[in-house]
Amino acid sequence: MSLERRKLLVLVVDRDDDLKRKTGISTPLLGFDRNLQAAQTLALSDPEEADVNAMFGALRVYRELVEKFGQENVQIATLAGEESEGIEADEKIMHELEEVLKVFKADGVIFISDGVTDEFVLPVISSRVPVISVKRLVVRQSESVERTWLILGRYLRLAFTEPRYARIFLGVPGLILTITGILYLLNVISLPLILTAIGLILVFRGFNIDQKIIGVYNWFINLFKMPPYKQLRAFATFVSVILILSGLYIGYVSALNTITTVYPNPPDPSLYTWWWIEKTPLLTGAFIIGGIDIISVGVLISIFSSAVYYLFVKEQRFWGTIRSIILAIWMWALLKRTGVLVISTILGPFEETQISLLILVAILGIVTMVVTLIVTRILRNIYSNYFKVKKKEYSED
């Protein structure tokens, strides 16, 4: 059946029956004139009532449909439920809808809604007559507030009525407040300490720190259940982090000692910032000389452990770790020579051989990297049956 031949019912549902409570008008309301009069009366009674928007919106939709399909094919009606908005309200709406359908045998409904709660009756309406369209007429702020309060009300009811949720939302906070109050009355703890403890609890829970600590603990417990090569990699990673942090600290101390040796009374950085910026090359050189050895050892341990891991699991990324080891050694030598050159240039005595050594290290590093790349590619093809490609690489190919 085409839409032009259907009989359409423009329907408004006031589930909590604001219309009768505020105006005394009973439903169902059938016809344009009765709905217009009821909408005007409700608007005069309570201009802020959301159902007013729905009723006037339905009247406008009714006029548009009448102009398009004719008055004999379109009708408008308003139904109402009960103030409790429960099963009784839905039963009353169903009964009123059946009364309307006896008078106007509609083939489809254009449902006009004023908010979230009215749409709860859509299953009731669609069980009697097909719902062709749903048009919502609601102020956006009102809609969001209504939805928020509806969801909040549900969770509050769960917090007070469900034992499982009540233990969490009421029992645990109540126990904490009780213990805290007793300790405060006994002068065991002070108010600042209480606030600090509460703040730490909120920070730990808000940033999920407690779960991260539990995750680290579980990882540490499961570490001893892992195969030896995985344990080696985990231990090497831990040692690498310690060495890198130690190298950064030693480099920092070395830079400060160097600056205080050259300039016994260095100015305050906050007052003479530009002076410290001018000394950046000296600080950088001293930092490199002091910390690069330990940092490089930490990096090499981490890469070497990964190479052992990939060798045992037979992954082709093993060849990448070999190249990374050569690159790390090259970068260590290059940075070391750079730090020595910077210090010797600033503090003296300057030796031209330092430049030659730096250039030699750079050239040898480039040649070594090229040879390493070629050799690892050849070996990768030779031992391709032993090593396997990671699944992700298959998908990319």
Mean pLDDT by 10 residues, the chain (397 residues): 71 86 88 92 84 88 89 90 81 90 89 69 86 73 58 69 70 79 78 77 78 78 76 87 93 90 84 86 90 93 90 87 92 91 80 84 92 91 75 40
What pLDDT sits at residue 164? 64
Show the DSSP H helices in the chain as ranges.
18-23, 32-45, 50-69, 87-103, 122-126, 140-161, 163-166, 172-185, 191-206, 209-223, 228-262, 273-278, 280-313, 317-347, 352-382, 391-396
What pLDDT sits at residue 368? 92
From the list 158, 175, 174, the residue with the least C-alpha distance to 166 is 158
Query: Rounded to an integer, what distance in angstroms lies between the CA atom of residue 20 and that of residue 221?
Result: 67
DSSP codes of every residue in 152-204: HHHHHHHHHH-HHHHIIIIIHHHHHHHHHHHHHHTTSS-HHHHHHHHHHHHHH
Structural contact between residues 113 and 138, judged by C-beta atoms closer than 8 angstroms: yes
For residue 393, CA distances in Å to 280, 303, 315, 317, 379 come to 44, 21, 11, 11, 19
Per residue in 4-46, pLDDT tens?
567 899 999 888 888 888 888 888 899 999 999 999 998 898 8
Residues 6+ apart with CB under 8 A from 287: 251, 252, 254, 255, 339
Structural contact between residues 307 and 299, judged by C-beta atoms closer than 8 angstroms: no
What pLDDT sits at residue 32? 92
What pLDDT sits at residue 145? 56
Q: What are φ and ψ of residue 137, in 5° steps? A: -120, 100
From the list 371, 237, 228, the residue with the least C-alpha distance to 304 is 237
Largest CA distance in the chain: 109
Query: Rounded to an integer, what distance in angstroms lies between the CA atom of residue 130 and that of residue 108?
Result: 5
Structure-block tokens of residue 196: 């600090």
Residue with tokens 């939709």: 61
Domain ranges of the chain: 3-146, 162-221, 226-396
pTM: 0.48
Structural contact between residues 116 and 50, judged by C-beta atoms closer than 8 angstroms: no
Query: Rounded to an integer, what distance in angstroms lies between the CA atom of residue 279 and that of residue 294?
Result: 24
CA triplet 232, 238, 243: central angle to 5 degrees?
Answer: 120
- Beta pairing partners, 11: 77, 111
CA triplet 350, 352, 358: central angle to 5 degrees?
Answer: 105
